[in-house]
Structure 1
Amino acid sequence: MIRVIIHTVCYLFLLGMPGILSAQSEATQAPNFDEHIKPIFKQHCLKCHGDDKQEADLNLQGYGSLLRGGSSGKVVEAGRSSQSVLFQAITEPDDDLRMPPNSPPIDLTKIDLIRKWIDGGLLETSASKSMVKSRDLTFNPGENVSGKPVGEPAMPVDLPLVHKPKLTRPFPVLAMDVSPFAPLAAIADQNQVRLVQTETEQELGRLDFPEGEPHVIRFSHNGAVLMVAGGRPVESGRVVLFDVVSGTRLAEVGDEIDAVLAADLSPDQRFVALGGSGRVVKVYSTVDGELQYKLTKHTEWITAITFSPDGQKLATADRAGGIHLWDANSGGILLNLGEHKEAVRALDWRGDSRLLASAGEDGRLIWWDTVDGFPAINKVNAHPPQRPPGTYGIIPNGVLAARFDSEGRLVTSGRDQTVRVWDVDGNEIKKFKLETGIPLSNAITNQRTTVIIGDSAGNLQFNKL
């Protein structure tokens, strides 16, 4: 009797196997037009955009007609759902503007399927090839070491005595950087910058910054100069260059009427670019402090500025999500990088000057191929938040910081209280969860063994990779 039951169960299981395998196959298969997308269009779109009727000259019933688009041009862009008119229309938050009209929104699972289909390259069938061109994003760290000093790298020696300020509450770690060649980190503090030995985690000294709050800290490419930018909100802003060994002020650049929120020092140390609430990027000479040129294309506060490691390009970003790529020598516009929907919080170049990382309050983390401005890797929700019990509405998922290390890995901080490390292909390889506070800044040490995290409570953490 038992044998009969076993045979019967096995037989029934085998009968169900094709359905199980089919479901698993569909779950892992890249979406294509014929099998996955056309059924969605048939249910929601073809009444107005099919063979019988084409409003705005748009026919979604056939693959070829879909790619041709309508009277206003193409409606899908391979690899970029966020820039595709069709995807924008079906995800429009305004009920009066969203498609299909006078109907409930398309189910979120179907929306996600359409997004994956567009980002995956608009496959027509399961046998089709992606329309997104293949890119070689290989990174060779050994070929991208620039500015390495002759002899020992710069470390602080006999710094001027600076007294630690008495604070009623800890100052958040708004900015930090690590020396590219020495075990040294520079950490933002109230009206000061702390210099910390990254191997012993001991403070070596402080640099006075009476200008106000340090919002940006950057070592020069040879590690010998430290740039500090900041100021006092609605009062003044400036960029100061320090000699790392002696702590001497080498130059003071800019005379802003508000704090400097974004700045960078060019790889050859000849220029400083800065910006803030004035919505203008200004590029100054470090030799005489004279203004070289202005960039006026941004429509919101400047939130991030960075020179490419080869010194040829300058990337700038703003509070509205705009990113522009400029010729660093002439100030001419090269590319507009449109993908973020909210403030861009960080920009950073990979060592080979090809990939640019951007992180935003919209939760996106993007590796841009600056050859043509294509988002080679696009993490729509890089730091997914956990919803606390009993809470409703949108949970902030912004990415607040992003820095490359010398091996091409990227370390990011998010409002989910997590710091994540990504490999050169955009795969998450490590994460660190904070118990309290929000991570505001981070960096990987010069030995590439430790992630340093600075948070909103003023804490500094050293975590082994």
Structure 2
Amino acid sequence: MLTKLKRVPFPASLSPAMSSGSTMVRSMPARFVLLFVAVAAASVGQAAEEAPKKVTYEDDVKPIFRQYCLNCHQQSDKKGGLALDTFGSVVEGGGSGEVVFDDGDAESSRLWQLVNHDDTPVMPPNQDKLPADKLAVIRAWIEGGILENSGSKAKAKKKNALAFVASSGGKPEGPVAMPETLPLETPVVTSRAAAVTAIAASPWAPLVAVAGQNQIVMYHSDTAELLGILPFPEGVAQDIRFNRDGSYLIVGGGEHSVLGIVAIYDVKTGERVATVGDELDIVFGADANETLSRVAMGGPQKMLRIFDVGSGEKLFDIKKHTDWIFSVAYSPDGVLLASGDRSGGLVVWEAETGREYLDLAGHKGGINSIAWRDDSNVLASASEDGTVKLWDMNSGKAIKSINAHGGGVTAVSFDHQARLATAGRDNRAKLWDATGKELKSFSHGSEDMLEVAITHDGNRMVYGDWTGAVFNTPVDDPNAMVRIAANPEPAAKRAEAVKTTLVSIQEKLTPAKANLDQANAAVAAAQKSLADLDQKIAMLNKQAAESDEAAKNTEQASAAFDEQLPALTTAIRDLQDEVTALRVALKADASKMIPLAESEEKLAGKLTEMAKQRRNRVAMIDVIKTHQQTAAARKAEAEKLAAGRAELQTKLDQAQSLAQAAKKAHDEIAAAASKVQSKMDRLLAEIQ
């Protein structure tokens, strides 16, 4: 037993606040201090046990690599220049660059893309994916910041580059551009369609442009109606893009080994407002910046050339690509310019200066198509290696790799929701969500699907294949697909078809007019019946009101008599008293005879007047009763008629509804006839 308790200092390692300034703890007896320390240590231990276990290279990932990967990827045998047997070599990466990053983004990790079979070459080669629990460990390690060991600390995670907020940037304030006076004559008539080389959809209007031989054909994307044909006499368009507000169409193309140009057309009028470039070979990729002041183009000459649209002067002649340039695209904000080539080269440039901004390595095949997301932060590239990669412009890394089409991806485009439309050599077009998840697959073609576009509202996809077939398909109903032609029939033949359509529509117009007239007549009849009924009800209500008024007036007259009656009664009583007094006086005085006679005469008059007034009063009661009965009868009759009014109103409403439907049907047919007539007139005018 302790006879004296020793005071000890509080351990500074447990609580700096208590060790530096707690008088209570400093004066605490030793046994309580020891007890406090034990409890605190137990709490710390419990917290450590409850904290999630760190996933580290040494403890968790290296054993997986040892089991599945180190036969090919270790210091003495670095296949692809990559060794995975040390943490340093993993971070260093391989011949194609880094494979993991410390930002917690698994989707952009090359290592994850390969082991998860999201990209090629898949790892381990010629084998199934690693077991799900092993993959979960690798992903958790990457998302945890690629920690080397239990003493390592993770960096803060970066913002998800795939996160996207839709905007209407670039949409014109007024009406969006649609063709108004485009020519309808077919410049070149071919026996069959050639492979589809370019398709583009307006960013804000139901309009799609399809490349054909020496022409670009404009269709209404919702109705598949041919709206006009833009001549392209230089050859075949290889790239078509609408500018940001959809008012102009940028077309690059030409003739192989002969000529390459970029033309800009006004969408409303079809006027060619600019022609830029004079290449010695065809232009494969072309685009204009957001102000239409510059045009960039590329092709077999391997040179990325940028021109001033106004003067036609060449501003930059950039030699970086080592193979044919297939695709060129300005970012929506006009800050960057991307270009991709046949050997997988993908470069992003500063649009204003022409300086290199990013050299994006990762594709194992040619870059067939590139597209920008609306916010300009993400670039999509479609490659012959079968993948579509999404590149973050801030980090310069591939944040997503999608195994999109076996055999190669030929085209890619974004919609305003950041969804992706792709086409590929598996004869399919596909739709993907913003994270790279497949939503739809369309397989209408019988050959390689070469081009794809998604409409302004995201409701339709338009895609074309090697045979020249072009398909316009609702996303929600693939069975409602319609075909449109890259090379329409001659205007004369189309005029005959339009004439047949017009006759058919006009045949429908006559019965529609008869139906409308009949419906209008039914409305008029129902309106008349209702009006007649309302007139009768109004007349009865008026008569009832008149009877009520007459009864009221009679009641007032009766009340006036009742007010006069007391005075008349008093006067009669006074005369009766006077006559009585005179009769008494007459017995004593014979001279009272004459006054008596006069008083009796007055009394008789007053009694006659009283009798007459009483008879009138009785008559008034009968008159009041008669007026009241008449008013009640008229009101009852009016109410009875009003009870049947609802039925007549229902008939009128039904007749009006049928008339409205008949008018709508008639007007639609008439409008269609007028539209077809106008189209035929334009065709005939062009033929003549």
- The interval holding the TM-score normalised by the smaller chain is 0.7 to 0.9
Structure 1 residue 182 displacement after superposition = 1.6
Q: Distance in 2 between matches of 1:444 and 1:359?
A: 16
1:379-418 matched pairs, under 5 angstroms: 379=402, 381-383=403-405, 385=406, 396=407, 398-418=408-428
- Give the corresponding residue for 1:108: 127
Q: 1:201 to 1:120 in 2, by over 3 A?
A: farther
CA RMSD of aligned residues (A): 3.9
Tell me, what secondary structure is at the counterpart of 1:192? Answer: strand
Distance 1:82 1:403 in 2: 23
Tell me what 2:163 maps to. 138
Shift of 1:382: 1.6
Matched residue of 1:321: which SS? Answer: coil
Identity within the alignment, % = 34
Q: How far apart, CA to CA, are the structure 1 residues paired with 2:345 and 2:222?
A: 38
Aligned counterparts of 1:377 and 1:48: Cα–Cα separation in 2: 24
**Structure 2: any 5+ residue segments left out of the alignment?**
1-54, 476-688
Quick one: structure 1 residues 432 and 48, their matched pair in 2 at CA, closer, same or farther if it must change by over 3 Å?
A: closer
**Structure 1 residues 271 and 170 mapped into 2: Cα distance closer, same or farther (>3 Å)?**
same
Name which of 384, 395, 398 aligns with 1:375: 398
Q: Give the aligned partner of residue 232 of structure 1.
A: 255
Partner amino acid, structure 2, of 1:436: S
Q: Tell which deviates more after alignment, 170-179 or 118-127.
A: 118-127
- TM-score (normalised: structure 2): 0.53
| SS in structure 2 at match of 1:259 | coil
Does the Cα contact within 8 Å between 1:33 and 1:123 map onto a contact in 2?
no
The alpha-carbon deviation at position 292 of structure 1 amounts to: 1.0
With over 3 angstroms needed to count, the CA separation of the structure-2 counterparts of 1:317 and 1:133, relative to structure 1, is: farther
- 2:60 is aligned with 1:38: no
**CA shift for structure 1 position 420:** 1.1
Q: Quick one: which amino acid aligns to residue 404 of structure 2? A: A
Counterpart contact for 1:123–1:129, Cα < 8 Å: no
Structure (1 or 2) with the greater helix fraction: 2
Conservation of the 8 A alpha-carbon contact between 2:72 and 2:78: no
From the superposition, tell whether residues 59 and 305 of structure 1 become closer, same or farther in structure 2 (CA, over 3 Å): closer
Residue-by-residue CA offset, 1:149-182 (whole Å, 9 max, x unaligned) = 2322111122234325221321222101111222
Corresponding residue number in structure 1 for 2:362: 339
Question: Structure 1 pair 269/131, CA: closer, same or farther in 2 (3 Å)?
Answer: same
- Residue 190 of structure 1 is aligned with which of 210, 213, 225? 213
- Asked if 1:158 corresponds to 2:168, the answer is no
Matches within 5 A, 1:177-216: 177-216=200-239
Partner Cα separation in structure 1 for residue 83 and residue 441 of structure 2: 46
Q: How much has 1:129 moved relative to structure 2?
A: 9.9
CA distance, structure 2, for counterparts of residue 444 and residue 219 of structure 1: 13
Counterpart among 439, 463, 474 of residue 453 in structure 1: 463
Say whether residues 1:431 and 2:441 are aligned partners.
yes
Among 269, 280, 293, the alignment partner of 2:292 is 269
How many angstroms does 1:464 deviate by? 1.4
SS of equivalent residue, structure 1 residue 209:
strand
Distance (whole Å) between structure 1 residues aligned to residue 281 and residue 444 of structure 2? 32
Q: Deviation of residue 77 (structure 1)?
A: 3.4
Paired position in structure 2 for 1:293: 316
Give CA-to-partner distance per residue, 1:199-241, whole Å, 9 cap, x none.
1101111011010011011111121111111011011111111
**Could you tell me whether the CA contact under 8 Å between 2:98 and 2:110 is conserved in 1?**
no
Q: Which amino acid aligns with 2:322?
A: T
- Contiguous gaps of at least 5 residues in structure 1: 1-29, 94-104, 386-395
- Pairwise CA distance, 1:120: 7.3
- Conserved in 1, the CA contact under 8 Å of 2:93 and 2:100? no
Q: Is the 8 A contact 2:261 2:282 kept in 1?
A: yes
Measure how far apart 1:190 and its partner are.
0.6
Q: Residue 437 of structure 1: CA displacement?
A: 2.4
Shift of residue 350, structure 1, vs aligned partner: 0.3
Q: Is the 8 A contact 2:99 2:110 kept in 1?
A: no
The SS at the match of 2:473 is strand
C-alpha displacement at 1:134, in angstroms?
A: 3.9
Q: Secondary structure at 2:411's aligned position in 1?
A: strand
Distance, in Å, in 2 between the alignment partners of 1:406 and 1:215 is: 24
1:393-421: CA deviation from partner (whole Å, max 9, x where unpaired): xxx2x000000011111100111111111
Q: Assess if the C-alpha contact under 8 Å between 1:404 and 1:410 holds in 2.
A: yes
The 1:186/1:328 distance shift into structure 2, 3 A limit, reads same
* 1:29-55 CA distance string (max 9 Å, x none): x997755653553687479958xx999
Structure 2 distance, partners of 1:448, 1:71, is: 40
Range with bigger deviation, 69-78 or 185-194: 69-78
Look up the SS of the partner of 1:245 in the other structure: coil
Preserved contact between residue 191 and residue 211 of structure 1 (Cα < 8 Å)? yes
**417-426 vs 160-169, which moves further:** 160-169
Give the SS at the match of 1:297. coil
Partner residue, 2:451: 441
Query: After superposition, where does 1:3-82 map in structure 2 within 5 Å?
Result: 34=59, 38=63, 40-41=65-66, 45=70, 61=85, 64=87, 66-67=89-90, 76-78=99-101
Deviations for 1:80-124, whole angstroms, at most 9, x for unmatched residues? 67589x99xxx999xxxxxxxxxxx96634789999948972867
The offset of 1:370, in angstroms, is 0.6
Mapped partners of 2:59, 2:334: distance in 1: 47
Distance in 2, Cα, partners of 1:359 & 1:286: 28
| Distance in structure 2 (CA, Å) of the matches to 1:55 and 1:352 | 40
Give 3-state SS (helix, strand or coil) of 2:363's partner.
Answer: coil
Provide the C-alpha distance between the structure 2 equivalents of 1:316 and 1:369, rounded to a whole number of angstroms: 15
SS of equivalent to 2:234: coil
Secondary structure at the aligned position of 2:379 is classed as strand
Higher strand share: 1
Q: Normalising by the residue count of structure 1, what TM-score does the alignment of the two structures yield?
A: 0.76
Label 1:463 to 1:132 Cα distance change in 2 as closer, same or farther (>3 A): farther
Q: Does the C-alpha gap of structure 1 residues 109 and 285 become closer, same or farther in structure 2, counting only changes over 3 Å?
A: same
How many residue pairs align between the two structures?
A: 403
Q: What SS does structure 2 have at the residue aligned with 1:41?
A: helix
Assess, with a 3 A threshold, how the Cα gap between structure 1 residues 281 and 111 changes in structure 2: closer, same or farther. Answer: farther
Looking at structure 2, the residues matched to 323 and 204 of structure 1 have their Cα atoms a distance apart, in angstroms, of 36
